[in-house]
Amino acid sequence: MATRSFELVQEVARTGTFERQGSTFRSWVEDREHARFPAEAGRYHVYVSRACPWSHRVILARTIKRLEAVIGISYVHPFRDSRGWAFPGGEYVDRAEGSAFLAEAYERARPGNTDRISVPVLWDTHERVIVNNESADIVRMLNDAFARWASPVDLYPEPLRPAIEAINDWVYRDINNGVYRAGFAATQDAYDRAFDALFASLDRAEALLATRRYLTGSSLTEADWRLWVTLVRFDRVYHTHFRCNGRRVADYPNLWGFTRELYQRPGVAETIAWDEILKHYYTTHDMLNPKRLIPRGPIAIDFSAPHDRERLTSAAP
């Protein structure tokens, strides 16, 4: 098994700016004959961290599409050290392969692998290879390729695709990845730029959500869930840990109402593991929080409070 040091240094080295490494397994499950990875019930498995926002996209897609019985799931432990994501036992076991570390799946899929051992991973239990380790792709596969078994909710409707892509672009750059760029910046200038872009884009989302129930209008799409996974973590983690302290999400009436509405949708609150989220961020990044103390606030934060978003449109399907 390859054990590799978890070093952020390589990603901030030259410019002081955190550059997220691209995902390198990008194959596709398709529901057609002779596909390299054909859609089948019970064949595919996802490795995820309940702490991780990119994994959270996949967990949500699997829940919303009602694919729990079709696609297996294993959760890594929220604490990650130099050996990478681990399956130490209890609820954190590799149900597909029985590995002790996720690095073993990468090594099996690509011997000598030197890429980062990241989650989420879509694993093929037949061929014992990684199909894909890019959450954006995995969400689309769960939306399309497993339609025979899935609920008919469409997270990526054809007519809305250009609007979804346009929103994903700035939401990813400035918000999803933006909080990490602020948090892992190694120079004041890199931090300032990430901070300014983050709060400019939060203002932009706030303005959109003042007149629309969801980012593209009246349909709840992947664009909303991609924004939401960052918003739901924001006040308890990014505001403090990543120095994203311009405002709290709770200070934006529309972002906060939107966050509460999505939190309250069926099955969604159950996808949140606050203990794992807090433990992961505040105990894994020693360069940011060497004493590993977990902040207790905000004192009052109620994701279950009424949201009043219905006033903007009728409920999405």
Binding site for ligand GSH (CB under 6 A): 6, 23, 52, 54, 116-120, 134-135
The residue (of 118 and 168) whose beta carbon lies closer to ligand GSH is: 118
Q: At 236, which amino acid appears?
A: R
Greatest Cα pair distance, the chain, in angstroms, is 55
The residue (of 22 and 111) whose beta carbon lies closer to ligand GSH is: 22
The residue (of 23 and 240) whose beta carbon lies closer to ligand GSH is: 23
Query: What is the closest distance, in whole angstroms, from the C-beta atom of residue 281 to ligand GSH in the complex?
Result: 9
Contacts 24+ apart (CB under 8 A), 232-239: 232/259, 232/262, 232/263, 232/272, 232/303, 233/53, 233/277, 234/179, 235/298, 235/301, 236/274, 236/277, 236/278, 236/295, 236/297, 236/298, 236/301, 237/277, 237/278, 237/281, 237/282, 238/179, 238/182, 238/183
The residue (of 62 and 260) whose beta carbon lies closer to ligand GSH is: 62
Active-site residues, by number, are 52, 180
Query: What is the closest distance, in whole angstroms, from the C-beta atom of residue 52 to ligand GSH in the complex?
Result: 3
Beta-bridged to residue 47, according to DSSP, are 74, 121
d(CA 168, CA 175): 10
Query: What is the closest distance, in whole angstroms, from the C-beta atom of residue 223 to ligand GSH in the complex?
Result: 15
Query: What is the closest distance, in whole angstroms, from the C-beta atom of residue 192 to ligand GSH in the complex?
Result: 23
